[in-house]
Structure 1
Amino acid sequence: MIGISEIEAAAERIAGHVVRTPTVPSPGLSALLGAPVTAKLESLQRTGSFKARGATAKLLSLGRAERDAGVVAVSGGNHGIALAVMAAALQVKATVVMPRSAPARSVAIAEETGASVRLTDGMDEAFATAGRLRDEGLTLVHPFDDPVVVAAQGTVGLELARDAGELTDVLVSIGGGGLIAGVAAALRALRPGVRVWGVETEGAQAMSEALAAGGPVPVALSSIVTTLSAPAVSRLTYDHVSALVEEVLVVPDREAVRGCLDLAEHAGVWAEPAAGCLLPAARRVRERVGPDVRLGLVVCGGNATTVDVMSWADRFALR
């Protein structure tokens, strides 16, 4: 299990390379949800999501031989952007493997950094390709199955604990579980009374299915939210969520897209559906906890184009 000492060490390591993002009360979201809301805006992080934290920590942990050989990452979008940008900044050669369903903007950003980008027919093939490249000598920078990465993602929770006012319940999106594992570890240490809730979208339910099965299992992916579409969680992230997280809530893609529109309209925040899914889940938490709830939302990223969001809005008849 990741402890607060590892998270604090990660914070020192990545300081100066990433942004200490704002933690702010949101009057607009508070009015919308009917409860006090504080937002942690990782959408304003370098590379547009929290993923820059884990990628930076892992790159800084490499020895000279590993740096010279280069690194490889598998990504549905944000992890690939983060690794490509931060590797270029630290002068490490990077290869990013993405499914063809990854957002075109994510592919373009990774290519613009000078990273080698390989596209596959799905996430399963992407992980297999990255595994072959690792066997050829590249260092795999896993998006969530790595204690160094999880501890660095936990710096989001470290900052939230130090910067937010009173909170009773914090909601965090789940793909492979690296973010929620780190955030939950930090909050358990610094704010032990705060409940942590995970949120997934339908068709990207790797953690909720793992919890039902008693351990990580492969899952079928169908969600439009590629940044949450891990084919399975890891034992590392499963162990943290099963021990530290209240429950994992699952919301439809349509409600995740509606959440993006609500964040823009009521909070002035541009976010991707991986963050938009927090709003419908927050309504459920508010109803279950009652009138004394004080919500914290980790807005994990904002790497969606206006064209993407409007296209999804049209698809789900939200305009």
Structure 2
Amino acid sequence: MNGIIGISDIEAAARLIAGHVVRTPTLASTGLSELLGVPVTAKLELLQRTGSFKARGATAKLLSLSEAERAAGVVAVSGGNHGIALAVMAAALDVKATVVMPRTAPARSIALVEAAGASVRRTGGMDSAFALVPRLRDEGLTLVHPFDDPVVIAGQGTAGLELAEDADDLTDVLVSIGGGGLIAGVAAALRARRPGVRVWGVETAGAQAMSEALAAGGPLPVEVSSIVTTLSAPSVSRLTYDHAAALVEEVLVVPDREAVRGSLEFAEHAKVWAEPAAGCLLPAARQVRERVGDGARIGLVVCGGNVTHREIAEWTERFGLG
């Protein structure tokens, strides 16, 4: 398992970011347990600073930079949550940030990045957004990659470390996948602290970078068409692929419609406002529950809540979920 993030790296990241990010609640959910028919525990990363787990990795990376790097500034590519996290945490640490965002990024996400004081560069799509990064790095900016960085992965893994400490009876943990940074870190933490727990990845149809990579035997470019822009990475990295191949049970793919339905179910049954990138966990959890049976004890890493009521209403109508 060469290149796999070690528990010591995740523990070091936890010490580094302590006081800068929230130790989010890990709670048993009566409503979700009744919905799925087995005990369900939710790690509420939507209550993290900036509304998603991304604050963990961004903070870890920013605090690992040299004084010269911090003075020169940082750059990130993001469809939403990573950019928001970097912009807010960079402002808190007095680091100048530039965020490259595709035109498909939600207007609210762009507004939040700008409100935090970061410079926004708009591009056509995620491919062109990533293509702009080398030029910005040539200008002296340090890239804070959303997932292809061991420091960022270790930072995201602190969510898994907390989950392992706060919920000790889980059999199966489900984690959403965009580029794979969150599941890489969470799986590494759980493998070390709770080696008997199975970790399942979840993607939406049209944002299948990891499942296609696993089928192909390595990362490759994928066509992105999902409405779930926060999961729409154009490819995973070799680093996140290696973690998934070594540590993840399977990657499940659910339709956009079911991801939106999951967001509605989170609101109704768990009383939390989850974006579809987290909503996709519930239809996948049903699949896991069917496979594992009544003995399942399910953990859900509820990755973020950065979605507007208008977006949820539009998708609800579009998919006939009213």
TM-score of the pair, normalised by structure 1 = 0.99
C-alpha distance in 1, partners of 2:61/2:104? Answer: 26
Residue 297 (structure 1) aligned with residue 296 (structure 2): no
Per the TM alignment, residue 252 of structure 1 is displaced from its structure 2 partner at its CA by 0.1
Map Cα deviations across residues 65-123 of structure 1 (whole Å, 9 max, x no partner): 11111000000100000000000000000000010111111100000111100111100
2:263 aligns with 260
C-alpha distance in 1, partners of 2:116/2:220? Answer: 34
Residue 200 (structure 1) aligned with residue 203 (structure 2): yes
Per the TM alignment, residue 137 of structure 1 is displaced from its structure 2 partner at its CA by 1.1
1:228 aligns with 231
Residue 79 (structure 1) aligned with residue 89 (structure 2): no
C-alpha distance in 1, partners of 2:250/2:219? Answer: 16
2:144 aligns with 141
Quick one: which amino acid aligns to residue 44 of structure 2? L
Aligned pairs, how many? Answer: 319
- Pick which of 161-170 and 36-45 moved more: 161-170
2:106 aligns with 103
Tell me the C-alpha RMSD between the 2 structures. 0.5
Match of 2:91 among 63, 88, 93: 88
Match of 1:248 among 247, 251, 261: 251
Residue 130 (structure 1) aligned with residue 139 (structure 2): no
1:38 aligns with 41
Map Cα deviations across residues 187-235 of structure 1 (whole Å, 9 max, x no partner): 0000000000000000000000000010000000000000000000000
C-alpha distance in 2, partners of 1:212/1:290? Answer: 26
SS at match of 2:174: strand
Quick one: which amino acid aligns to residue 22 of structure 1? P
SS at match of 2:148: coil
C-alpha distance in 2, partners of 1:235/1:225? Answer: 23
1:56 aligns with 59
C-alpha distance in 1, partners of 2:92/2:33? Answer: 38
Quick one: which amino acid aligns to residue 321 of structure 2? L
2:184 aligns with 181
1:114 aligns with 117
Map Cα deviations across residues 136-162 of structure 1 (whole Å, 9 max, x no partner): 210000000000000010000000000
C-alpha distance in 2, partners of 1:159/1:317? Answer: 37
Quick one: which amino acid aligns to residue 295 of structure 1? I
SS at match of 1:76: coil
Gaps of 5+ in 2: none
Percent sequence identity over matched residues? Answer: 81
Map Cα deviations across residues 176-195 of structure 1 (whole Å, 9 max, x no partner): 00000000000000000000
Per the TM alignment, residue 166 of structure 1 is displaced from its structure 2 partner at its CA by 0.5
Match of 1:20 among 20, 23, 31: 23
SS at match of 2:175: strand
SS at match of 1:167: coil
1:4 aligns with 7
Quick one: which amino acid aligns to residue 84 of structure 1? A
C-alpha distance in 1, partners of 2:60/2:188? Answer: 17
C-alpha distance in 2, partners of 1:196/1:95? Answer: 34
1:215 aligns with 218
C-alpha distance in 2, partners of 1:132/1:196? Answer: 37
Per the TM alignment, residue 165 of structure 1 is displaced from its structure 2 partner at its CA by 3.6
TM-score of the pair, normalised by structure 2 = 0.99
Quick one: which amino acid aligns to residue 64 of structure 1? E
Gaps of 5+ in 1: none
Per the TM alignment, residue 127 of structure 1 is displaced from its structure 2 partner at its CA by 0.4
C-alpha distance in 2, partners of 1:67/1:33? Answer: 46
Per the TM alignment, residue 131 of structure 1 is displaced from its structure 2 partner at its CA by 2.3
Quick one: which amino acid aligns to residue 220 of structure 1? E
Quick one: which amino acid aligns to residue 85 of structure 2? A
